[in-house]
Each structure stands twice: as structure tokens, then as C-alpha cells.
Structure 1
């Protein structure tokens, strides 16, 4: 028997003919469905396609868009972003993220229009990638929920309330000095990031959760490890459009243990929330609710969770998940932005010792050689220090981009951007525009001299965003950074063998140094100065 016989036999069998016809019919239906879907997508985004045709940008390919241009390591990704900014800036350029158009915007005038437009409040589909961990916290929530929660949480970040945390920030600064003592006078450099990160996490956790145990506590360590693994997964997902659909990413997540990561990530905040709710209920039973506090008790600092629970008691109706989402957003944003910025700033001062001397002289003139701790009035007077922090954030913005998805057409200087476009505000692009900052890759705190700043557009520097959805924690972060840096520099001088050209950048959700922050420290002996006294409690 040959193939021809079997084929004729199959066609003579009515059952085979039936199934073959059914398979063909299903195939035709799938092809027609995909064709209609594709035509519908093309029709719905016809205005975006017409707009994109006018904008320069790197090559794009079906399904994957421009992402071939950005393949490689997290270090390669930063290098290619910088190259894109230099090649096309300061005018807008485009990249296709899969089938989604992203418009890169760098000019301060255009940035101001976007960030202050009520149709540009949505952070877009890519921020939904974070929702597995952060749910609908301030950083990821859709506009209606964000407006409500922003109004609820704003009082926690006002100046008068933040000032109540000064004792915590001073305490953590002392702990940093004591922890660093083991590195004194070493001839080899060390990465200061681990020390700063430990203290930042403790400070943020204590002011948001009133949790002040050692960072080596198993549950907190597990929490931080899970946060790191989650951010690695999300960073990878952004560069792989085939993982954009949730159902595909969920399947992928099962093979990478994503559910276990979530479980460990939520365990720590869930436990603290449960304990705080119990404590709050006990206070109410004994007539120590917020309505019955004495004046002194009212003046005591309230952590973020206290504020949210009190608002719940007044009818806000935040669920346990809402509480966890907001706490996680604040902890992650706070610990990352503060830790990385302080480390970059210390490294810059180590490379530029003349600048370090000027910062120290300012601290000495304000605080003298007494043993007092930093006050709010001191931090206001740390003007040159603030210039150094801002110059660090200009050079190395921790969050190198701001994303907005337009709910309606928005007109900028030379274009009308159509509804549905994702606008990528490139901080690393704007902060390195030659016309704004001469020698943009050099460290120069004088860029933020008040006279120079007055001549620049206000959105020439946007490390904390601007407009309607700016960073709510800017003043909190600046206060903690000033207290930590001033205490550090009163006790130690910092040095390094690293040069500016040695610094390589990578993106792991936030922008970091590839090789860490390698420094050496020495006791500060040039003038009589305040010295921290360490004991078992703080060292």
C-alpha cells in the first residue's frame, strides 16, 4: 500500500471528511478573527500612526516595535537611552514598545505642558506591571483612586508633620556613623550602599509603620529580598513585549516563583498592619482614641499607618489591601530614592574633595563644634548642601523617566499629541541638555546657585516630578538626606580612587551604579567637631 491509497481511503471515509472540514472551518474562523482584530487595532490607532510617521526615532518592527534597539543588559539599556537622547534631543522622538507608541519629551516647555495637563495624569499601562506588588497605591493607582488617596495621605507629608520625625532621622544618622566605624582607616575602598540602605529602610519603616527592629530581622530581610526579585522581574518584562499580556506573564510567573515572591513580600507589612490595628482598637477601648487624646499625646508623631487608621475610623473605609498598597508604595519609593541619592552624593563628594570641604565648612559654620543634634532650622540653612544633593539628582536621577498616558489630545510646542500616546518624560535627557547645563556630565553644584536657577525654566530640573502628580515625599526625602549627610560629614571625611569616567549606570527599575559606591572614610580631625558616641544600642 502506498500514500495514495491511504489518502483516497481517508477521503472516502465520511468521518475523516467531517473532521477535516471542521478543522479547516476553525482555521478560517481564526484567520478571519485575527484579520478583523488587526484591522480594528489599526483603525483605532490610525491617528497615532499618522502622528508617529512625522516623528523621528529608531527603527521599528512588527509586534516587538523598537525593542531590538534596547536589548542587552541593564547597563546596555542606560547607555542606549543616553544615546537616544543625544541623537534626537531636545526635540521629541519616538520609540515603539511593542505596538504601543512612546513619545520621548525633553524640552522643559513641553514637560510643563504635559505634567500640568489634567488629561495627562494616568501613568499608563506599564505602571500596571507593578500592580502585583503595589496594587493601587499612590504610585500606581488609576486617576480616580489616586485623587482620593492623595488627598488622604497629603497631611502626613506636610512640613509640620515631617518635622516630628527629626528625632528618628537623627537617631538613624547616629546608627550610620557607628555602623561605619569598622571601615575606618581601611586602605581598601568599600561599597557604602549596604550601610546607607540599612539605615534608610529603618528610617522609612519606622516613620511609616512604627517598626524599629534591626534590619537583619528575618521577616524584614525576606521582605527586602522579595522586593528586589520583584523589581528585577518587572524590569525584564518592560523590555520583553511578549510578556506584556497578563495571562502570559502569569504563566511565566508560575515558573519563576512569582506567587512565592508576592507571599514573602506581603508577609511583613501584613503582620505590622494587623498589630497596629489591634493596638489602635485597644486604645479606643480605653478611651485613648484620636478624639480623646491629651494635648501632649496629640503632639506625638504619628506614623503613616496611624494616620490611615484614624481616617478609617472617620469613615474613609480603606481595606487591609488599601493600607498595604499605600505602605508598600511609600516604603519602596522612600528607601530606593533616599539610599541611591545619598550614595551617589557621597561618591561625588569623595571625587570632588574641594566641594566636600565647602559642604563641611557650611555645616561647621551653622552647627559649630558642640554636641547638639541637627534641628529643622539647621537643615533650612544647609543651602550649599542642598545644591550638592540637587546636582547629584541632576546627574543621576534615580527614576530616569516619568510616564504619562494621554486621555485626550495634548498640544505641545510643535505637535498635537493624540489621545492614547504614552509620553515618556526623559529626566536623564532633560538634565543633560547642553543648552541648560554646560558640560552636562560634570558635577557642578553651582548649577543650582539661586541666580542661575532663576534664569532657567523651572522644569529644567524635575527629579521629583512637577505638576498635578508630583512626588508627594520630596520634602520628607530632602530632610532625611540632609540629616544623614550632615551627621556623616561632621564625623568623617570621604575619599575614593574612583573617577567620574569610572561610573557606569544600570537600570533595575531605578538607576544605580554598576560597580556600587566605592569609598574610604577617615576621622574628621581638621577642626574640633561633634563626634558620635557609639554604644551597643546605636552601634
Structure 2
């Protein structure tokens, strides 16, 4: 027994020496960070409740944001967190470090090699296929659908007038309907409404499972993870997610089989000759057309639909939730938006169009400020593929690099009074000189969010339609917000607002 115990101690000491005193480890140890523990490094720091775990990056930012960088190590994984926009630009602006970090592999059972997770030539090829789906002319077509959904949202709120309500599930339903009808070309009906709810519930549960896996390093191995009850629970929720998106794809293929892949004709004049060009509409139609051209297979379609269904509804719902909460708590700002809307629409009750959205400049400032304070994607992470100097420290290749967008956006040296909701920050005259990588709610560089213009348009549509009919009054206040650890920014409880009919 003594020999076995002695052997274990020797092995642990050897591991400790190898992984703490090799060349890469020595470089990392020069970077400031929490104190290490024997063998396990900093991993005990992650043994927290969901709420406390979400506070940990805030704790690190408070201590090390001014120095611009800190490091985190646990056998056999190393990471740095960067807070300086100049360093963030180094990591995000090119293709050198465009590969997502190891934690994104946990999304692979759900999203496969979709645009969020893939890298290299596969990512470039998929991005090329999908980019036309968010062209201005396509967004114009989408705007009509978004307005129809926004009007249904207003009707839905009619039933709740004068009562405090949790806006999160209502807005989640709105954004799911919107992404289905625009990018997927499929309208949810009574038959699929229940499946849609199961889909939204599964996403919430899946987020909690992924967080548990992230903080449990023994579960990083797929073989170990999927043999546990947590892994089996994940598979159950994945079945619900994939059943829903498979139904969306199947319905659209049936539609196209019946009516044909007809993108319509657009007359193009390039000064040399006039010709007809196929106009592409729903993103899913692009993928189906690419499959028929041999550029993508059915699994690839599934991956991209799973990716866009998640990113296109859950993140926007989070953004709208916190935007409504902020407007309810800042009546003077809400009144300024209404005055802008009155200038645009007068006494008319007509729906908004693309030209109207372009005139909603102050509302856009409000949306941008809301996304600064409450970025739905509150962190991103990349793999440092080769050694790089960040904040005068050498970061070795193979290190994961985290950008906590929430903390970046609340740096007092980048944004004066950073916790204050002040849309005037984004007026053109106040944006001069701001580092382009100090505000990145949609990430930045080549891997920025392909649907960011769509998301802003959707938020403008929802907020403007609601404010034209209702006054938002506060229930949940910013001081009540307590985040839980998740892949999307979420409050631990309801986010409540009261809607009162606006008096003309």
C-alpha cells in the first residue's frame, strides 16, 4: 500500500513539474492571475453556484482589467483574459487566431460544424454561401415579416395591460417566430407551437448542462461525459432541439418541392448590359439550393439551421428583454424615442418600413447602449494558434483567449459612468475617437456576427411598434438583475415590465 501511495505522489509531482515549469508554463506564470494550487491550478475557483460563477469574471475584471490581462490555469488547460481594445483587435481582427477555443467543442453535439463552431476552409465556404441571405435587398423583404410579427407582439401584450409581466418568454416567442418566418421561410402553426416551446425550454436546459461541463474538467472527455447522467440528459434535450429544426427543414423542402426553387428575378444594370439575376430570399433556401448544387450536404444544412435558429432567436430575445427593462426604468429616454416616432409616423398607424427604420436614429442609439450594458453574447473565446504578445506579455500558442464583452463594455476608462444608461454615447459626435474594439456586442473582425443588421432591424421593429401603443413602466430594476452562468446573458429570475396603453 505504501509503495502505491508513494508512486501516486511521485506521478503527481512529475505532472506538476512538467505542466508548471515547461517553457509555456513559465511564460504564463509571468502574467498576473489568481494564485495556483498544487496540480489543480485555479480550478477550485470554478466550484461555485451558477450565480456566483457568473460573478467570477466581474471579480477578475475588477482586479485585473486595468492591467489589461490576467491568466487562468488548470491541468492541462491554460487561458488568458484580455481587456485592452488594442489586444482584442490583435486577436479578433485577422484570421491568424480565428479558430474558436476548446470550450466551443461542447457545442458540437448540438451545432455540429456550423458557422459558429467551424474553422478554416469549411468556415470560409459556409460564410460565402450564407452571406447573400443578409443582403440589404433581402433585409427589405424580411422587414415586412418582422413588422407583422411585431404587430402580433403588440396584440399579445394587449392581454396583459396594467399587469407586471415577465417579458422574457413573450419576447422569446416573438424572436423564434421571426427567425422561422424570415431566415427559414417557415411559419409556425398551431401544430408546431408546442414543439417550439419544447425547443426553447431545451435550449435553456442545455445551457445549464454546458456550464456544468465547462467547470468539471473530468467531463471534457466525450467518452466520460456521455456515460454520465448529465451526458444522457444532454442527449435528451438535443433530441428535442433536432426534432424541431429537422421539422423546419422538412417543411421548407416540401414547400420548395411543390412550388420550386424560385428566387424571383432582379434586373441588374452594370453599364455594359442589362440582365436578369436570381434574387435569393430565405437563408434556408440558399442552403437547399447549395445542397442541390453539391456544395453542402444534408448534415451541413442541419448544422447551419441549428446554429441560426439558436443565434437568431435566443440572443435577440435576451437583447430585447434588457432593452425593455432599461426603457421602463428611464421614462425620459422612452419619451425621446416616442417623440422621434411621432416625427416619423405622425398620427398614422401604418407599419414601419425600411425607410422608417433608417430614420430611427435615437432608437438605434438606445439599442446600442442597451447592448453595451447587457450584451447577449457576454463573452467570446479564441484559440491562440501561435505565440503572440498581448499587453507586453508573451502568450504561448495553444492558450485559450477570453474576451468578456460585458466587462469590456463597462470599463470606466472607455465609457464615462459606465453603469449609467446613456444612449447619447452613440450619437455620431460622441463616438469620435472611440477604439473600434471597445464596443463589440456582435464580436468583430472576420468572424463577426453575420446577422447583426438583421438583429438591429428586428429590435427596432419590436421596440418601435410596442412604444407606439404602450408606455413601459418599471417593475424589475437594474439593481434587481442577478445573472446566471449561461452561453447567453440571462437573469436568474423574471424580468418584469408593466405595459400601459399610451394616451395620445
TM-score (norm 2): 0.91
Q: 1:472 and 1:333 mapped to 2: Cα distance?
A: 10
Q: Deviations over 1:18-52 (max 9, x none)?
A: xxxxxx9xx89x97997899499639x93321111
Q: 1:295 and 1:117 mapped to 2: Cα distance?
A: 34
Unaligned runs of 5+ residues in structure 2 are 268-275
Match of 2:273 in 1: none
Match of 1:242 in 2: 218
Q: Does 1:401 align with 2:370?
A: no
Bigger shift: residues 442-451 or 215-224: 215-224
Q: 2:51 and 2:176 mapped to 1: Cα distance?
A: 25
1:150-299 to 2 correspondences below 5 Å: 150-186=127-163, 189-214=164-189, 217-253=193-229, 256-283=232-259, 288-290=260-262
Match of 1:74 in 2: 50
Post-superposition offset of 1:453 = 1.2
Q: Helix, strand or coil for the counterpart of 1:460?
A: coil
- Aligned partner (choices 293, 300, 303) of residue 322 of structure 1: 300
Match of 2:344 in 1: 366
Q: Does 1:131 align with 2:126?
A: no
Q: Deviations over 1:265-297 (max 9, x none)?
A: 2112222323333443444xxxx4449x56699
Q: Helix, strand or coil for the counterpart of 2:226?
A: helix
1:441-480 to 2 correspondences below 5 Å: 441-480=419-458
Match of 1:55 in 2: 31
Q: Residue 89 of structure 1 contacts residue 106 of structure 1 at CA under 8 Å; is this kept in 2?
A: yes
Post-superposition offset of 1:381 = 1.4
Q: Deviations over 1:157-177 (max 9, x none)?
A: 222212210111001101100
Q: 2:41 and 2:341 mapped to 1: Cα distance?
A: 51
Post-superposition offset of 1:255 = 6.5
Q: Residue 326 of structure 2 contacts residue 421 of structure 2 at CA under 8 Å; is this kept in 1?
A: yes
Q: Residue 133 of structure 2 contacts residue 280 of structure 2 at CA under 8 Å; is this kept in 1?
A: no
Q: Residue 177 of structure 2 contacts residue 187 of structure 2 at CA under 8 Å; is this kept in 1?
A: yes
Post-superposition offset of 1:121 = 0.5
Post-superposition offset of 1:391 = 1.0
Post-superposition offset of 1:238 = 1.0
Bigger shift: residues 499-508 or 372-381: 499-508
Match of 2:59 in 1: 83
Q: Does 1:106 align with 2:92?
A: no
Match of 1:536 in 2: none
Post-superposition offset of 1:221 = 2.4
Q: 1:255 and 1:166 mapped to 2: Cα distance?
A: 40
Q: 1:257 and 1:142 mapped to 2: Cα distance?
A: 28
Post-superposition offset of 1:412 = 3.0
The structure having more radius of gyration, on CA atoms, is: 1
Match of 2:271 in 1: none
Unaligned runs of 5+ residues in structure 1 are 1-23, 528-539
Q: Residue 225 of structure 2 contacts residue 231 of structure 2 at CA under 8 Å; is this kept in 1?
A: no
Q: 1:329 and 1:203 mapped to 2: Cα distance?
A: 15
Q: Does 1:309 align with 2:288?
A: yes
Match of 1:439 in 2: 417
Q: 1:40 to 1:265 in 2, by over 3 A?
A: farther
Q: 1:267 to 1:300 in 2, by over 3 A?
A: same
1:138-157 to 2 correspondences below 5 Å: 138-157=115-134
Q: Does 1:120 align with 2:97?
A: yes
Q: Helix, strand or coil for the counterpart of 1:208?
A: coil
Q: 1:142 and 1:183 mapped to 2: Cα distance?
A: 45
Q: 1:35 to 1:87 in 2, by over 3 A?
A: closer
1:409-424 to 2 correspondences below 5 Å: 409-424=387-402
- Aligned partner (choices 486, 510, 527) of residue 464 of structure 2: 486
Q: Residue 87 of structure 2 contacts residue 390 of structure 2 at CA under 8 Å; is this kept in 1?
A: yes
How many pairs does the alignment contain?
492
Q: Deviations over 1:68-88 (max 9, x none)?
A: 223322221222211110111
Q: 1:416 and 1:508 mapped to 2: Cα distance?
A: 30
C-alpha RMSD of the superposition: 2.7
Q: 1:247 to 1:181 in 2, by over 3 A?
A: same
Q: Deviations over 1:376-399 (max 9, x none)?
A: 111111111111111111111111
Post-superposition offset of 1:185 = 2.2
Q: 1:157 to 1:71 in 2, by over 3 A?
A: same
Q: Helix, strand or coil for the counterpart of 2:432?
A: helix
Q: Residue 338 of structure 1 contacts residue 477 of structure 1 at CA under 8 Å; is this kept in 2?
A: yes
Q: Residue 280 of structure 2 contacts residue 286 of structure 2 at CA under 8 Å; is this kept in 1?
A: no
Q: 2:142 and 2:458 mapped to 1: Cα distance?
A: 9
Q: 2:487 and 2:423 mapped to 1: Cα distance?
A: 26
Q: Helix, strand or coil for the counterpart of 1:251?
A: coil
Post-superposition offset of 1:455 = 2.0
Match of 1:524 in 2: 502
Q: Does 1:94 align with 2:64?
A: no
